[in-house]
Amino acid sequence: GMEHIDSYVFNKAEYVRFNSTVGRFVGYTEHGLKNAEAWNSDAGILGQEQGELERFCKHNADIDYSAILDKT
């Protein structure tokens, strides 16, 4: 399977990321944990990330597919 991770960085430190494997936000700092908790309980934000993931994967699959066709 393909894993997509969205990282949110503040002052060069990653504080929260969306992990597609678990389908949730994961916090790494106190601030990030609070954000992750809030975002995980917000179906709208989770849905938006899942939608991004689908677009991202479909888009990349199209690129890979056309690259394969070009080689034949």
pLDDT tens digit sequence for 4-61? 778 878 778 888 988 888 889 999 899 899 999 999 898 888 888 878 777 766 666 6
Q: Residue 13: CB partners within 8 Å, gap ≥ 6? A: 28, 29
Instruction: Note every long-range contact of 64-71, with CB atoms under 8 Å and residues 24 or more positions apart, other chains counting.
Output: none
- Tell me which DSSP letter residue 47 carries: H
5-70: CATH class? alpha beta
The domain spans of the chain are 5-70
Q: Give CA–CA dist 4/36, Å, rounded.
A: 16
Q: What is the pLDDT of residue 12?
A: 81
